Amino acid sequence: MLKKPDHTTSSLSPFLTAVFLLTTAGVAGAQDAPSEETIEFFRRNCVSCHTIGGGALTGPDLKGVAERADEAWLVDFILDPKGVIDSGDPYAAELLRKARGLYMTQVPGMDRTKAEKLVDLIVSESAKERSLFAGLQISDRPLTEIDIERGRGLFMGTVPYENGAPACISCHTASGIGGLGGGRLGPDLTDAYARLEGRKALSAWLGSPPSLVMQPVFKNHALDGEEILAIVAYLKSVSESEGAAEPASVLQFVLLGFGGSALLLLLFDFLWRGRYRATRRPLIRDSKHARIGASS
């Protein structure tokens, strides 16, 4: 009679041991596991220029960085990259040279605690076989004419985005887009492909734009992998075609200016017709009342 429960326990025990081991491993790991907040911060602010184990982008691959430089140095560097480089630090000078003179930007909202947590995150991600930040998985397939066309459509806003991102043309211009060109809030993207050093770096940049202006706009409207490829294909084709963005001709401006003001005048005339009467009527009425009031 006593055999039965015994038997059950013994067949269960390897399972229980495994569960126990997994749980304790989980707990032990959780003590120094980076918080979601730090992961999200890295994703938002660093992956546009760095991978961990996915190769260099604009900045170096951060895998194993704590073996190249000590952690206190890394914290200081993340806090104030330009300051450290300009202080004449030889290791930083070498980094700058390898990055072809491009300075790492000072990340907004950075403080010492955040920087320390980021270094811990980089260390723990470096130890993984495959880091969360091994890089955007963007296909290596050859870019086609179809990509270029789609990219142009996305840029111009004639092809809608999967996640409702705004068209690039609202803030950017590029060579060959014709008309008055695009918005002026962002830079001309004609040579962005070259400036951001090609397909991989530009893709990473677009996957998570570090721009203060673009970041909030794209945060909840991320571009998907195929959209990024199409835009990269388009910007590549633009950078390879000759010439910078041709400024809209003066005549175009003048004509559009006249046309525009004529339209505006008509529009306001129309809109204010009602308003004018609506203001005048009570005035007349009031003045009548006033007169009546005065005579009585």
Give me 104's structure tokens: 């790492």
Query: In terms of C-beta density within 10 A (0-12 exposed, 13-18 middle, 19 or more buried), how is residue 108 classed?
Result: exposed
Please list, in sequence order, all residues whose beta carbon lies within 8 angstroms of the beta carbon of residue 154, skipping any fewer than 6 positions away.
Answer: 161, 167, 168, 227, 230, 231, 234
Closest separation in Å from C-beta 148 to ligand HEC: 14
- Does 217 engage in binding with ligand HEC (CB under 6 A)? yes
Distance between CA atoms of residues 130 and 117, nearest Å: 20
- Does 50 engage in binding with ligand HEC (CB under 6 A)? yes
- Does 185 engage in binding with ligand HEC (CB under 6 A)? yes
Measured in whole angstroms, how far is the alpha carbon of residue 140 from the centre of its chain? 21
Distance between CA atoms of residues 223 and 206, nearest Å: 7
| Residue from the set 205, 233, 237, 245 that interacts with ligand HEC by CB under 6 A | 205
- Does 238 engage in binding with ligand HEC (CB under 6 A)? no
- The residue to which tokens 């070498």 are assigned: 94
State the Cα angle at 228 between 226 and 231, rounded to 5°: 110
- Within 56-115, which residues bind ligand HEC (CB under 6 A)? 58-60, 62, 65, 68-69, 74, 77-78, 81, 85, 95-96, 99, 102-105, 107
Pick 58 or 131: Cβ nearer ligand HEC: 58
- Within 243-282, which residues bind ligand HEC (CB under 6 A)? none
Binding mask 141-180 for ligand HEC (x = CB under 6 A): ------------------------xx-x-xxx--------
Closest separation in Å from C-beta 44 to ligand HEC: 9
Distance between CA atoms of residues 234 and 240, nearest Å: 10
Please list, in sequence order, all residues whose beta carbon lies within 8 angstroms of the beta carbon of residue 99, skipping any fewer than 6 positions away.
Answer: 58, 59, 60
Pick 3 or 100: Cβ nearer ligand HEC: 100
| Residue from the set 52, 177, 192, 245 that interacts with ligand HEC by CB under 6 A | 192
Checking 152-158 for CB contacts under 8 A at 24+ apart, the result is 152/234, 154/227, 154/230, 154/231, 154/234, 155/231, 155/234
How many residues of this chain interact with ligand HEC, rule: CB under 6 A? 48
Pick 166 or 253: Cβ nearer ligand HEC: 166
Chain residues in the site for ligand HEC (CB under 6 A): 45-46, 48-50, 58-60, 62, 65, 68-69, 74, 77-78, 81, 85, 95-96, 99, 102-105, 107, 118, 165-166, 168, 170-172, 185-187, 189, 192, 195-196, 205-206, 210-214, 217, 231
